[in-house]
Structure formats: structure tokens, C-alpha cells
Amino acid sequence: MPSELFVVGVSWRSAPVSVREKLAFHDEELEGHLKKLINHELIDEAVILSTCNRVEIYGCTSKGSPASAVAQAAAETRAFISHSRGFPAEKLSDVLFEHLEEDAIRHIFRVASALDSMVVGESQILGQLKSAFGASSNYQSLGPVLGRCMERAFSVAKRVRTETGISRGAANVSSVAVELAKRVFGELDGKSVLVVGAGKMSALAARHLRADGAALIRVTNRSPEKAERLADEIDGVACAWQDLEIELSKADVIITSTGAREPVLTKKLMKQAMKRRRYKPCFVMDIAVPRDVESAVGKLEGVYLFDMDDLERLVSENLKERSREAEAAFSLVEGEVRQFHQWMRQQHVVPTIRSLRSHFHEVAAAEVEKAMRNLEKANTEHERQEAMQRLGKGIANKLLHAPTTVLKQASDAETLADSVSQLFSLDSQDESEERSKSSALNPAGLAKTAVPSKKA
């Protein structure tokens, strides 16, 4: 039976985080839930994608007629989500979405390409989708259709990233900070980072800096316990608050987010720290509101100061550029969706093609065997020619008997006749025969019948 794809789930577009967190699937329970899914009568293949921004189930069915089966499979998946998450079905009706057939392919390709992400062009979703694919493969809930669709989605995502500018430019404050720091230093290998305060955003920025090669991350906070806790989280080293000036002088990159009401990094303090470091370049990222760094600090020699307004302005500019590039990405994805959907439609007729080939070969083989026996009895060239002619007629008659009978008896004979003409290109053959007859009657290719000339 033909296979069809479907998607059922919620995302940041359809459900608030309070709902998404209740529907989320944890890694350790994926195996059991995937096996339950494919044990459903109508679900052959399944992938569960669970992230902070979306909880989606991708499925494939090949049972029953395509239109009814895929809708029923989606309904079964809705019921599965409700039951497995302990979430009342009536409360899910407003937030769960579903995509069927070609729309399902389109959704999967767009998700992989980060065109459906909260931040268009972000890179994290592709890794999350590959992890979901890997889990389904390990737990044997993937098959030839959904598996191929996912693999194609990864290829589409690669095309989108390489052929458009959708991922160009950092798209959040933390990644913009890293981008700016790299502009100052060229590379971050071996650079030291100081985190002033224990804010979550500063911790996230520090992780980005570490991933880009920053060598050592120090954390200082008025509360030693908070400094220790954050240092453990980001694989850094806690240092004493009273040594702030010394620590500032050691840092190439400073991230500050303290929540203080007055600036912590004053011009006087930073001037002393820069003197200690002999005015070597220092990148200061103030992500506190109210600000932790006096604006005058940015005028000191060697200091590159950015606050939240600077960072958010750059994020906004980058996102505008991504939105412009998204149009090209959507167009690229649409072309890929059409190609994959065409492949799926072709799979619907593969069993028929195989049966047709097998039947034709069996008929031909039987007639050839009969012809061989006749050839053995033939004594003259004329008899051998007759045996070969009977072979051709026998194959043609055997192959034409069933379709001819059906055509004569069918209530929709005219429609079937049109299909047969299309399948075997009979219309073009008729045109070719007409041209041949015309050429035989008028070998000179004259447009008009020649008029015999009169004798003088």
C-alpha cells in the first residue's frame, strides 16, 4: 500500500512554554514511547522531536486508502500524546497542530532548515533533529520512507545554510558578544574571561566564549557561594570579590551582569586595571540592566565597551538580514518538497510496475519455450520463419488478452482507453503512421497534387 507522512505536535507558535514543558519527552523514555507508537495499527514509522521550543511526532502510515489512513494515524498520535503525557485531550485541541502528506514534508524540511524556528536560521535545531533521528534509528522505529525524508531534510538544511545567507550574523545577545570579541582579537584562542556577577546571560555568553577557544574563565561575585556555583556550571574558577581590580587587569574579555543599582566597573577602577595590563585590548560586555559599567569606561585606551543596546541593535540588524534571506530559503525548500513528494508518488506505483514486469517476463518465457520446441521440429527455413512469427503473435496475444477484455467490458471504457493510449504512447504512434502513409502517397513531399502537363 502507498505510504503517507504526517506530523502532530506543538511549537512555540501554537503553545506557551507552560504547555510545552508538560508535553516534553525525556531521553530516557523515548525508547518505550517510540515502540508504543509503532505498535499502533496505523503507524509504521515514528520520530519524536522534543526541544524547549517544540514537541513534535513525525510518522508514516501505509495502511488503508492514503487519505483516510493518514488522517486516522494523525488522530491516533493525538490520542497517544494526550494519554502518554497525562494531558486532557480537550485542552490539547487548541494547541496541537497536524500536517499531512505534502504539508508534512514541507514542515519537516522547514524545521530542519531553521525556517520555523523562533530565531530564523539558528543552528541548534538541526543537531536536535539529528539526535531524534538517531534515537529512532537505534530503537528501530524508522523505516524506508520517514528515514529517507529525514535524511533528505538534513541535505536540504545544508543547502539552505550554504546557498543562502540565512545563518549569517549572530542572532542572540550571547552569540553577538562572541562575534564582537572575535572582531577585537581576531581569534579567542588563549584569551582569558572574567565573569562579574552570576547572571544567566553572562554564564551563557561565557560558554559561547569557551566554545570559541577562550582559555580560562574566572567568576567573581559579592556572594562567594554564588561565584563557586556558577564557576562549577561553566567549568571556570571562582575568585574573591575584593580582588576585582587585579582580576580585571588579567582579563581580555569581561562579562558583567550583577543586578547592582549603581555601576560596579567605574572609570577610575577600569583605568587602574588597564594601567596594570599596560593598555592591552580589553573587551567589556555589559549585559546588566541597569548598567554595570560607566559609559566613560568606553573612552579609555584599549577598552572596547558594549552594552545591551549595542548588542540588541546588532541582533536586530542580523535578524532583518536573515528575514530577507529567508525568502530565498523558502523557495529552495519548496523545490525540494516537490521533488520528494514526487519520489513518494512514484513509490506508490512501484509494486504495480514490479508485478507488470514479472507478468510480461513470465508470458515471454513461456512463449519462447514453446517456440524452441517448434524450431526443433522445423526442417525448412520457411517452417523456422513461421515458428518465429507464431512466437511474436503468441506473446502479443497473451499480453493483450486481459486488458482487451477489460476495455470491452468496462463501464468507464473511454477513460481507460485514454489511459492506455497515454501509457503506450498510441497517439504519437498514430501520428507517426499517418506521416508514413502521407510520405508514401506523396514521396516528393509536394504540398499539392501534381497536375499532368498537356502535350502541345
Contact 146, 62 (CB under 8 A): no
Question: 52, 60, 149, 239: which one is catalytic?
Answer: 52
- 302 is written with which cell numbers? 584599549
Total residues belonging to the chain: 456
The DSSP string of 291-328 is: -SB-GGGGGSTTEEEEEHHHHHHHHHHHHHHHHHHHHH
Collapsing DSSP to helix, strand or coil, 335 comes out as helix
Strands 282-286 and 303-307: parallel
Please name every residue paired with 216 in a beta bridge, in sequence order, or none if there are none.
192
Burial of 176 (0-12, 13-18, 19+ CB in 10 A): buried
Longest dimension (CA), the chain: 131
At residue 287, φ and ψ (nearest 5 deg) are -110, 25
Beta-carbon contacts of 291 under 8 Å, excluding residues fewer than 6 positions away, are 263, 307, 308
DSSP secondary structure letter of residue 449 = P
Contact 96, 79 (CB under 8 A): no
Beta-carbon contacts of 385 under 8 Å, excluding residues fewer than 6 positions away, are none
Residue 85's identity, in one-letter code, is: R
Residue 337's identity, in one-letter code, is: V
DSSP secondary structure letter of residue 241 = G
Q: What span, in angstroms and rounded, lies between the C-alpha atoms of 131 and 135? A: 6
Contact 287, 255 (CB under 8 A): yes
Q: What span, in angstroms and rounded, lies between the C-alpha atoms of 218 and 449? A: 101
Q: What span, in angstroms and rounded, lies between the C-alpha atoms of 372 and 175? A: 78
Strands 4-11 and 97-100: antiparallel
Q: What span, in angstroms and rounded, lies between the C-alpha atoms of 77 and 68? A: 14
DSSP secondary structure letter of residue 186 = S
Active site residue 52: yes
Closest CA to 159 of 104, 103, 110: 110
Active-site annotation, residues: 52
